[in-house]
Structure 1
Amino acid sequence: MGAFLSLLVRCWTVDHPPEPPKSRSAIRIGILGTGWIASRALITPAKSHPDVIIAAVASRDKTRAEAYARKFSIPIARLIRSSAVDMLDDPAIDAIYNPLPNSEHCEWSMRALKAGKHVLLEKPCVSNSLEAETLFGYHSSLPTPRPVLLEAIHPRFHPAWSKFLSLISGPHVEKADVVFNAPAGFFKEGDIRWRYDLSGGALMDIGSYTVSCLRDVFGAEPVGVESAVARPAKWGDVEEGFKAGFRFPNGGVGFIDADINKTSFWGLPGVSIPRVVVQQKEMEVEVEDAIEGEVQTRKRTVTIWGFPGAMYHHSIEVVDVNVRKRASDGEVLRRWTKKETKKAYVWEGRGVESGKEGEPYWSTYRYMLEQFVNRIKGRDGSGVWIDGEYSINQMKAIDAAFEKAGVPIRPTSSFKI
């Protein structure tokens, strides 16, 4: 009963966090666009951060910007014009959150960086690897101290993901499967995700998380795409489902299943829990009670359930198949299975290690915001970060999957800084 009440309290507090007073040196962030994701990814997490103020929102429709500002108690509503945005010229704005359509990520992030603003950039960072090299190359060319630029792959910042990775040995991973689906009807007809010109599609949306998961699990970049199938969307000119298999340097394979219009029986919306399942090769392990002439091996499978929303509930299941053998001839003397379930809502070193801040109700986005602010203020953080090289390689993997599937890589912007 206590565990259930704890779950209810945590889930409630994720979306209704405490609101401490803001510090005098708080970072003032402006939001580009009025999409719903900003509420979950920034506005709500910022409530519990004393060093963050949501100071402005901008839209091409001034009336929409003003309505959005009223809804979320944002003091300033700005206008995005064809070649500029008032908010970028405002010296009182320190940072920009860019959740615009993917096709506009490169242009408006570069504009913000040129204006001296830090940028928290929604995933995927841009439309393709060429744009990624352009954006992060431009960022690297800026004089130091340069603004902070971070791609918002939020699940990587939660302690649950780090705990999951700590239970895996990347070089020994034999196979990994990542599944992340959204039920049919969640994204309605007319949504920007259904448009090729806006760099939409399943792989560019939740599929980008699945690719990132594989790269983290193997701790390496894929060396090739062995298979890729894109299922055309019911609406628009992109794919609604994408499956692919990647080969990694150790010979292991990783598979992704990303769907933004998942159906089940009779065409009803399909529901599945996002998960990553990792199978490792059989490995010899050291044991305390080892007997001379005997060896012990272990074949491990680790599964994390609910990784994108780990703050609400997640589960990390570890299954070890152990075998005790006679070293001389390999005869099996004993075989047994050990199962464990783990969770991590806060860092293990919280309150002791520098940078290990966090509360059980902190969302993946809140943990990410913490590191974004830490980097801006030059403070020690948790050690989790996404640099430009990681983001560029992410887009290279996505481009390679598109090529293997025989569908067009998303278009490159004509914008020049």
Structure 2
Amino acid sequence: MPFVDWLTSFAELGEWMAGRKEVVKKDNALRFGILGAANITPTALTLPARSHAEVLVVAVAARDKKKAEAYAKRYGIPIVHDSYDALINDPSIDCIYNPLPNGLHYHWTLKALKAGKHVLLEKPSVSNAEEARSLFHHPVLQGPNAPILVEASHYRFHPAWSLLLSLFNRENVEYVNAHAAIPAGIFPGDDIRFNYPLAGGTLMDVGHYTLSALRSVYGTEPVAVTSATPRLINQPFDQRCDQAMVATYMFPNSGTGKISADLGARGGYWFPWLTGNWPNLKDSVQVVSVTLKEQMEDVGEEGVIKGTRRQIKLWNFMLPHMWHRIDIVTTTTYRDASGKTVKEEKSTENKKAYKWPEGSGGDIKGEDWWSTYRYQLEEFVNKVKGREGSGVWVDGEESIRQMECTDRTYEKAGMLLRPTSEALE
């Protein structure tokens, strides 16, 4: 079973295990149309929409109409349009979900916005920074009644990510490591993720999450991309696409960071001569590790200085609704006047957050079974409806800066930027 189909089946199983039924829809529910019949759509929209009283998925269109019809039948979608244009111009539709290949994001998102539709746009928002600036600064998004557009960096909407960010002061961050990998064999070399004309490459896929997480932890942009090392997709496939990317960055507070993203992880076991091409399963849990600067304190005992350092690690940051854990490891070191260590203590604390804390109040909602995508959908609807919600959002400037940093990483790696749409305005 392909990986994305497994994710969909897992989501459907989760719905059944939770004993949930479709809620009664409100009269003012937002009506969604879907561009394409992408494998991610059930996980990202169709299934989460079942539990949202203000969301109806009513239409789909795909290049292959038979595929769209099969998708509509499976998920109970009443309308199948003959084309993307027909769906976008359907006056009964309020919102568009765009999970098309990266290289098609700009063109079809802009068309939807011009038609007055709100757009939930899959990550990465577009192919490069030039497209991002054009899209998010476009006049169609200006003014009090402009449509809503958001890049679907879904992990940011989950309470676990907000909890992580609450555990430290950004000015004290010294080093961040963001890692995400998929075992080899799941995505073949001819997968659309490695199609350069459609803005493929691992940095544009799971690499988006690692770079986004790194930037989110620091809360600012790196002053330099200090290194970027790609592993290209193997021949005879498109050599303009990275199958893996490792990159390092320096930030304004002198902190540093590293991302490692891989869509074909291999090896990592004993006897590499035998296991070097085996799919790497042990490193497939996504993790963000934050190391804070050591805090020094004079304890007033014959010149003894106490140093406290914390490392905070969020396991499974991309899919925390399936399972996650935040480990807070505190190391306390006592040093004498000469700097020699006289005693060291270490303690570990664990935290998790599947829903917002009690008493959050206002428009903040959530259940412990909500996925990252369900939390994201909640905030999308809140934004369209003019409600405050949790306050978590990915604004246009954030999406622009993400693509600018992506471009700088590809440049440092000596690779071409992803191509710009001919429809650029």
Inter-partner Cα distance in structure 1 for 2:353 and 2:301: 35
* Structure 1 residue 340 corresponds to structure 2 residue 342: no
* Structure 1 residue 242 corresponds to structure 2 residue 242: no
* Structure 1 residue 40 corresponds to structure 2 residue 43: yes
Give per-residue Cα distances to partners, 1:294-341, cap 9 Å, x unaligned.
Answer: 764311101111111100110100011124568x88786753222101
Match of 1:4 in 2: none
Inter-partner Cα distance in structure 1 for 2:410 and 2:193: 16
* Structure 1 residue 367 corresponds to structure 2 residue 375: yes
SS at match of 1:185: coil
SS at match of 2:42: helix
Inter-partner Cα distance in structure 1 for 2:210 and 2:78: 37
Inter-partner Cα distance in structure 1 for 2:11 and 2:207: 31
- Which sits farther off after the overlay, 14-23 or 114-123? 14-23
SS at match of 2:417: coil
Q: How do residues 398-409 of structure 1 correspond to structure 2 at under 5 angstroms?
A: 398-409=406-417
- Percent identity of paired positions between Structure 1 and Structure 2: 44
> Is contact 2:131-2:424 (8 Å) kept?
no
Q: How do residues 236-315 of structure 1 correspond to structure 2 at under 5 angstroms?
A: 236-237=238-239, 238-264=241-267, 265-271=275-281, 272=283, 273-284=285-296, 296-315=306-325
Amino acid at match of 1:318: I
1:80 is displaced (CA, Å) by: 2.4
Match of 2:272 in 1: none
1:140 is displaced (CA, Å) by: 6.2
1:75 is displaced (CA, Å) by: 0.6
* Structure 1 residue 394 corresponds to structure 2 residue 398: no
1:380 is displaced (CA, Å) by: 1.9
Label 1:260 to 1:60 Cα distance change in 2 as closer, same or farther (>3 A): same
Inter-partner Cα distance in structure 2 for 1:14 and 1:379: 30
Inter-partner Cα distance in structure 2 for 1:15 and 1:186: 27
Q: How do residues 53-132 of structure 1 correspond to structure 2 at under 5 angstroms?
A: 53-80=56-83, 85-132=85-132
Amino acid at match of 2:83: I
> Is contact 2:141-2:147 (8 Å) kept?
no
- Which sits farther off after the overlay, 161-170 or 386-395? 161-170
Structure 2 unmatched ranges of 5 or more:
1-9, 268-274
1:62 is displaced (CA, Å) by: 1.9
Label 1:197 to 1:140 Cα distance change in 2 as closer, same or farther (>3 A): same
1:190 is displaced (CA, Å) by: 3.0
Inter-partner Cα distance in structure 1 for 2:150 and 2:134: 15
Match of 1:3 in 2: none
Match of 1:316 in 2: 326
> Is contact 1:10-1:360 (8 Å) kept?
no
In the TM superposition, structure 1's runs of 4+ consecutive aligned residues that sit over 6 Å from their partners are: 8-11, 289-295, 328-333
* Structure 1 residue 147 corresponds to structure 2 residue 159: no
Label 1:283 to 1:47 Cα distance change in 2 as closer, same or farther (>3 A): same
- Which sits farther off after the overlay, 135-144 or 145-154? 135-144
Match of 1:187 in 2: 187
> Is contact 1:11-1:361 (8 Å) kept?
no
- Which sits farther off after the overlay, 262-271 or 192-201? 262-271
Match of 1:5 in 2: none
> Is contact 2:221-2:251 (8 Å) kept?
yes
* Structure 1 residue 222 corresponds to structure 2 residue 222: yes
Structure 1 unmatched ranges of 5 or more:
1-7
- Which sits farther off after the overlay, 10-19 or 165-174? 10-19
Match of 1:176 in 2: 176
Inter-partner Cα distance in structure 2 for 1:25 and 1:121: 22
Label 1:51 to 1:284 Cα distance change in 2 as closer, same or farther (>3 A): farther
Label 1:139 to 1:253 Cα distance change in 2 as closer, same or farther (>3 A): farther
1:280 is displaced (CA, Å) by: 1.1
TM-score, normalized by length of structure 2? 0.89
Label 1:143 to 1:380 Cα distance change in 2 as closer, same or farther (>3 A): closer
TM-score, normalized by length of structure 1? 0.91
- Which sits farther off after the overlay, 183-192 or 153-162? 183-192
> Is contact 1:195-1:236 (8 Å) kept?
yes
